[in-house]
């Protein structure tokens, strides 16, 4: 069922965000709708009307959530808050701005955003009812504050360093959550209305009960859910990529060791000659020898760097240094 962001009669039923985790199948299911309709959906009633019902591998809710910098307060909340305060003739324009924004968020595919968009609009419609405008605006703020302000923090990146759970502990808000065991199912379902935080805490607690951890893949950077904290790569593809890279590094080192070894041998040979000359040769001969050695060393280092940077080949270097020792 599609939600429309327009003036409409408000329903008696509140819209809930429901989450059910299934350890056995490794899936998360998220539903958005009224309690009655969600229940019907869970019973597989074909007539159930919800705004969202999707099943994904466990962890997807957070893995797909990106910190996209959307300013919910400025673009969603404020126009409606202003509409509650302003003259009736100014309202349509403000409502339109918020409606366009909410409709866009509703299409985003992110369940957090879909739910928040619906709640924002539904909360506004409910707040429009009382005659006292100041009071209406105040109630609207209380109703929505817990949903909107922390929305950016729910990405998996943030979950990795536990900053969310820490933020929740420090928020000072009381967290309340309904845990729900729908009749005729073996499901455990939790629902959110004013804040996602209890649901996130619940999700986290379940993951740690089941020894699952969010990790960042050291090859592709993707966030994934791992069965142990020691896993560092997300897939076989990335493990293969890591192996290929390691082999490449090894080969490059082997080549470097080859010509580097030759360079060290040659310079050592020269130093031995110099040491001998210090005992036997005249100062003039020694000076000539010393200068030749410094010149060779300088040239060799330059050529070695050229091999390293790809400007010349290892073969060219080897040929050259072998010529020097003739």
The yes or no reply on residue 219 touching Zn ion (CB under 5 A) is: yes
The yes or no reply on residue 220 touching Zn ion (CB under 5 A) is: yes
CB of 234 to Zn ion, least distance (A): 3
Contacts of 253 (CB under 8 A, 6+ apart): none
Beta carbons of 187 and 5 less than 8 angstroms apart: no
- Which among 293, 298, 309 is positioned nearest to 256, based on CA atoms? 309
CB of 217 to Zn ion, least distance (A): 3
Report the site for Zn ion in 236-255 (rule: CB under 5 A).
238
The yes or no reply on residue 19 touching Zn ion (CB under 5 A) is: no
Beta carbons of 18 and 38 less than 8 angstroms apart: yes
CB of 227 to Zn ion, least distance (A): 15
Based on DSSP, count helices (H) and strands (E) in the chain, helices before strands. 13, 7
Q: Which is nearer to Zn ion, 108 or 232 (CB)?
A: 232
Size of the site for Zn ion (CB under 5 A): 6
- List the structure tokens of 114: 């879909």
CB of 108 to Zn ion, least distance (A): 24
Can you tell me the distance from the alpha carbon of 295 to that of 312, in angstroms, rounded to the nearest whole number?
Answer: 20
Q: Which is nearer to Zn ion, 231 or 293 (CB)?
A: 231
The yes or no reply on residue 225 touching Zn ion (CB under 5 A) is: no
- List the structure tokens of 86: 């302003």
Burial 122-133 (b: 16+ CB within 10 A, else e): bbbbebbeeeee
Site string for Zn ion, 48-87 (x = CB under 5 A): ----------------------------------------
Strands 52-57 and 178-180: unpaired
* Segment contacting Zn ion by CB under 5 A, of 36-44, 75-83, 182-190, 214-222: 214-222
147, 234, 262, 321: residue in contact with Zn ion (rule CB under 5 A): 234
21, 137, 168, 217: residue in contact with Zn ion (rule CB under 5 A): 217
Beta carbons of 153 and 164 less than 8 angstroms apart: yes
Binding site for Zn ion (CB under 5 A): 217, 219-220, 222, 234, 238
């Amino acid at each position: 069922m599609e939600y429309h962001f327009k003036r409409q009669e408000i329903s008696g039923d509140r819209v809930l965000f429901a989450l059910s985790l299934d350890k056995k199948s490794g899936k998360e299911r998220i539903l958005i709708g009224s309690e009655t309709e969600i229940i019907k959906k869970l019973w597989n009633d074909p007539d159930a009307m919800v705004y969202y019902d999707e099943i994904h591998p466990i962890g997807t809710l957070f893995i797909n959530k990106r910190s996209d910098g959307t300013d919910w307060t400025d673009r969603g909340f404020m126009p409606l808050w202003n509409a509650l305060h302003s003259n009736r003739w100014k309202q349509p324009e403000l409502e339109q701005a918020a409606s366009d924004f909410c409709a866009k968020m509703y299409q985003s595919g992110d369940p957090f955003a879909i739910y928040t968009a619906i709640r924002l609009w539904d909360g506004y419609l409910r707040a429009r009812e009382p005659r006292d405008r100041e009071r209406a605006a105040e109630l609207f703020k209380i109703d929505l504050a817990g949903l909107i302000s922390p929305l950016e923090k729910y990405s998996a990146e943030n979950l990795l360093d536990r900053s969310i759970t820490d933020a929740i502990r420090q928020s000072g808000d009381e967290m309340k959550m309904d845990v729900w065991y729908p009749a005729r199912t073996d499901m455990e379902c939790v629902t959110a209305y004013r804040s996602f935080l209890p649901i996130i805490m619940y999700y986290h607690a379940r993951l740690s009960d089941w020894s699952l951890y969010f990790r960042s893949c050291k090859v592709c950077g993707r966030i994934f859910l791992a069965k142990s904290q020691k896993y560092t790569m997300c897939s076989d593809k990335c493990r293969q990529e890591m192996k290929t890279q390691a082999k490449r590094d090894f080969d490059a080192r082997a080549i470097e060791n080859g010509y580097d070894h030759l360079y060290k041998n040659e310079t050592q040979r020269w130093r031995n000659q110099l040491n001998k000359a210090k005992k036997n040769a005249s100062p003039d001969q020694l000076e000539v020898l010393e200068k030749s050695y410094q010149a060779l060393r300088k040239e060799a280092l330059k050529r070695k760097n050229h091999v390293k940077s790809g400007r010349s080949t290892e073969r060219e270097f080897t040929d050259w240094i072998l010529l020097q020792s003739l």
